[in-house]
C-alpha cells in the first residue's frame, strides 16, 4: 500500500466513523420510543422487597416538642413536621408506595436492591417508617458546597436539584442515611415513571431525599396568598402523601408552631422520641410513644 | 516536508483530490448533522393565523379600550396558578353579537366560523423546577404588563415554528431574555422605589422544587 492509498483509505474510514457517530440522530427517536418504562407493579414489588429487607430499629431517645427554629430569618409562625405514632403503625408500607407515587421516586437497580439499597425516601426501620428528619440544625446542609441543600424559613430541609453537583458530602454527613443518590440516570436506565407532574424527575448525579412534600406546601401557600392577601399562612389543610395514605392514621403532618394544628393536638400529651443520632439536631419529624 | 515532496503527495493534481476528499468528509459530517440531529423543540405555540380564513388576534383591540380585564379571557390570571387561554366559546360570548352598528365584517365572521374550538395552545416556557403563581403576584399588586411587557401587538401567525419574536403575549417574560434575575429584581426589593412592590421571599424553595 502506498501513501496515497493509505490516506484515501484513512479518510474514508474517518468519514465512516463520523457518520457512525451520528447514528444517535438517525436511530435515536425509535430507540427512545422503545425505551423501557417500569410498570406500576414493579414499584409495588420493590416496596414488598424493601419490607422483606427491613433495616433494624433505631435507638430512640426522648426529646421535647419541637419549637421555632433558632436560625436567623426563620419563621416564628410555621415549622412543618410530622409525628409518627409508634402505637398505631403496623408497618404495612403503604406510606412508602404513596411517597413513590407522589415524588416520582425511581426503582433502584437490581444489584442495589439485592444489597437492600433503595431509592425510597421512606424506609422501614424495625417496623416503623423513617425518612429525613428535617433537622433544624441539619448537618447535611452545612457541608453542601453549592447550597443545593438548604433550609426554608418554615422548617423544611429542601433540596434544589438543579443546584446539586453530586458531591455526596450531604449523604456522608447524614446521621441516618436518609439521602439517596442517583448514580445512574433514572430515566435513561428505564427505572423512572413520572406519576406526579408537579415534581421534577431527578437526573444522574443528583442527591434526593424526603422533601416533606414541598410541592404541596408551595401550592397551598401560593393559593392561600392569592386568595387571602395580607393574612398569615399557617399551612392548614396541607398533608403529606405518606400521612394521607396511612390507613391507621399513624403519620400526622402539621405545623409545630400552630396550636390548632392536628400535629400539635396529637403530640402534646404524648411522649416524643427521636433517633439517638439526630436527637440533638432539633428534628422536625418525631415518633410519638405512650401517653403522658 | 521534503519527505512528502519526494513521495509526491503534494505534487500534480493530487492536492486537489486530497482537498476534495477532506471536503467530502467535512461535508458529509455537516450533512449528517443537518439531516439527522435534533432541532430545537418549539416551546410556545400560538394560533395558526396563516390560513385564508384567519385573522391575527390583536390585544390592542380587546384590552382596556373596550373595558376588558386580562383575566376575562385568560381565566385565572389574577387568582389562579396559571393564566389559561380562551376557548372559541369565550370569544363567541361577545362575537356572536354584532360589534358595531355597521354590517358585520365578512372576513371576521368567516374566520370566527372556521376557528377550531380551542384556537390557542400555550406551553409554559417555565422550567419544571420553577413555580410561578399568577394569583400571588396579582394579589401583591403586580400588573400583568409588568412582566408581559409586549402585550398589545399581534399574536404570532407562525404556529409551531418555535419562539416567535416580537409577537407579544406569547413572548411572555421577555422571551428568551428572561432569567431568574428578572424575578429577583423585584423579590429583592430593588424595584421597591420605582414600582412600589414589597420585598418578597428569596429563599430557594419559595419558587423552586
A232 touches chain B (CB under 8 A): no
Kindly list the domain boundaries of chain B, sorted by start residue.
2-36, 59-178
Q: Which tens digit of pLDDT belongs to each residue from B157-195?
A: 333 333 333 444 445 565 666 788 888 988 998 888 888
- pLDDT of amino acid A219: 95
**What does the alpha-carbon distance between residue A151 and residue A144 come to, in Å, rounded to a whole number?**
12
Residues 190-209 of A with CB under 8 A from B: 198-200
Kindly list the domain boundaries of chain A, sorted by start residue.
36-291
- Phi, psi angles (nearest 5°) of residue A271: -85, 130
Residue with cell 433514572: A186
- pLDDT of amino acid B165: 39
User: What CA dihedral angle connects A27, A31, A33 and A34, to 10 degrees?
Assistant: 140
A25 touches chain B (CB under 8 A): yes
Decide: B109 and B162 in contact? Cβ < 8 Å.
Answer: no
Rg (C-alpha) for chain B, rounded Å, is 26
- pLDDT of amino acid B176: 65
Residues 51-110 of A with CB under 8 A from B: 73
**Shortest Cα–Cα distance, B9 to chain A (Å):** 7
- pLDDT of amino acid B174: 58
3-state secondary structure of B63: coil
**Cβ separation A226–B80 shorter than 8 A:** yes
User: Residue B144, exposed/middle/buried by CB under 10 A (0-12, 13-18, 19+)?
Assistant: buried
The arrangement of secondary structure in A36-291, i.e. its CATH architecture, is 2-Layer Sandwich (3.30)
**Cβ separation A222–B135 shorter than 8 A:** yes
- pLDDT of amino acid B98: 75
- DSSP code string of A149-209: EEE-TTS-EEE-GGG-----HHHHH-TT---EE-SS-TTTTT------TTSPPP-TT-EE-
- Which residues in chain A touch residue B25, judged by CB atoms under 8 angstroms apart? 11, 14-15, 18
Claim: this prediction has a pTM higher than 0.90: no
Q: What is the pLDDT along chain A (292 residues), one digit of tens a residue?
A: 788 899 999 999 998 888 887 776 665 555 555 568 899 999 999 999 999 999 999 999 999 999 999 998 899 999 999 999 999 999 999 999 999 999 999 999 888 888 989 999 999 999 999 999 999 999 999 999 999 999 999 999 999 999 999 999 999 999 999 999 999 999 998 999 999 999 999 999 999 999 999 999 999 999 999 999 889 999 999 999 999 999 999 999 999 999 999 999 999 999 999 999 999 999 999 999 999 8
- DSSP code string of A75-97: -SS--EEEEEETTT-----HHHH
DSSP, res A286 = E
- pLDDT of amino acid B153: 46
Q: What is the pLDDT along chain B (209 residues), one digit of tens a residue?
A: 444 445 544 555 577 788 888 888 888 888 887 777 665 544 444 555 555 556 777 787 887 778 888 888 889 888 899 888 889 898 888 888 877 666 667 778 888 888 888 888 777 778 889 999 999 999 998 888 888 765 544 444 333 333 333 444 445 565 666 788 888 988 998 888 888 888 899 999 999 99
User: Residue A146, exposed/middle/buried by CB under 10 A (0-12, 13-18, 19+)?
Assistant: middle
Amino acid at each position: 500500500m502506498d501513501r496515497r492509498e493509505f490516506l484515501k483509505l484513512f479518510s474514508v474510514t474517518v468519514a465512516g466513523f463520523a457518520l457512525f457517530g451520528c447514528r444517535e440522530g438517525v436511530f435515536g427517536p425509535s430507540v427512545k420510543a422503545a425505551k423501557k418504562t417500569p410498570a406500576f407493579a414493579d414499584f409495588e414489588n420493590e416496596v414488598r422487597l424493601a419490607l422483606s429487607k427491613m433495616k433494624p430499629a433505631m435507638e430512640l431517645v426522648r426529646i421535647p416538642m419541637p419549637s421555632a427554629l433558632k436560625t436567623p430569618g426563620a419563621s416564628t409562625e410555621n415549622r412543618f413536621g410530622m409525628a409518627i405514632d409508634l402505637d398505631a403503625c403496623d408497618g404495612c408500607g403503604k406510606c412508602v408506595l404513596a411517597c413513590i407515587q407522589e415524588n416520582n421516586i425511581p426503582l433502584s437497580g437490581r444489584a442495589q436492591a439485592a444489597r437492600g439499597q433503595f431509592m425510597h425516601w421512606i424506609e422501614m426501620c424495625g417496623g416503623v417508617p423513617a425518612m429525613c428528619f428535617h433537622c433544624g440544625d441539619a448537618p447535611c446542609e452545612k457541608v453542601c458546597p453549592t447550597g443545593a441543600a438548604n433550609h426554608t424559613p418554615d422548617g423544611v430541609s429542601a433540596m434544589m436539584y438543579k443546584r446539586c453537583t453530586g458531591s455526596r458530602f450531604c449523604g456522608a454527613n447524614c446521621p441516618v442515611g436518609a439521602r439517596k443518590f442517583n448514580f445512574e440516570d433514572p430515566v435513561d436506565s428505564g427505572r423512572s415513571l413520572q406519576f406526579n407532574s408537579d415534581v421534577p424527575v431527578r437526573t444522574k448525579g443528583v442527591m434526593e431525599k424526603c422533601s416533606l412534600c414541598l410541592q404541596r406546601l408551595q401550592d397551598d401557600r401560593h393559593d392561600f396568598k392569592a386568595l387571602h392577601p395580607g393574612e398569615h399562612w399557617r399551612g392548614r389543610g396541607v398533608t403529606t402523601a405518606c400521612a394521607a395514605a396511612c390507613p391507621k392514621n399513624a403519620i400526622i403532618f402539621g405545623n409545630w408552631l400552630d396550636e390548632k394544628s392536628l400535629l400539635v393536638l396529637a403530640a402534646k400529651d404524648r411522649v416524643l422520641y427521636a433517633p439517638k443520632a439526630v436527637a440533638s439536631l432539633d428534628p422536625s419529624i418525631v415518633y410519638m410513644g405512650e401517653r403522658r | 516536508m521534503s519527505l512528502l515532496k519526494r513521495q509526491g503527495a503534494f505534487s500534480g493534481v493530487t492536492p486537489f483530490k486530497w482537498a476534495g476528499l477532506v471536503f467530502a468528509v467535512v461535508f458529509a459530517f455537516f450533512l449528517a448533522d443537518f439531516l439527522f440531529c435534533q432541532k430545537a423543540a418549539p416551546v410556545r405555540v400560538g394560533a395558526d393565523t396563516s390560513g385564508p380564513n384567519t385573522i391575527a388576534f390583536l390585544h390592542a383591540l380587546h384590552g382596556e379600550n373596550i373595558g376588558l380585564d386580562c383575566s376575562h379571557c385568560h381565566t385565572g390570571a389574577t387568582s389562579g396558578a396559571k393564566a389559561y387561554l380562551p376557548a372559541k366559546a369565550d370569544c363567541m360570548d361577545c362575537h356572536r353579537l354584532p360589534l358595531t352598528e355597521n354590517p358585520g365584517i365578512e372576513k371576521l365572521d368567516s374566520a370566527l366560523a372556521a376557528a377550531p374550538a380551542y384556537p390557542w395552545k400555550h406551553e409554559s416556557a417555565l422550567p419544571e423546577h420553577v413555580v410561578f403563581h399568577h394569583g400571588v403576584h396579582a394579589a401583591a399588586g403586580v400588573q400583568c404588563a409588568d412582566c408581559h411587557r409586549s402585550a398589545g401587538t399581534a399574536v404570532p401567525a407562525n404556529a409551531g415554528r418555535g419562539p416567535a419574536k416580537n409577537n407579544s403575549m406569547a413572548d411572555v417574560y421577555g422571551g428568551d431574555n428572561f432569567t431568574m434575575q428578572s424575578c429577583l429584581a423585584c423579590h429583592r426589593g430593588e424595584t421597591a422605589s420605582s414600582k412600589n412592590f414589597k420585598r418578597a421571599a428569596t429563599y430557594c424553595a419559595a419558587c423552586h422544587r
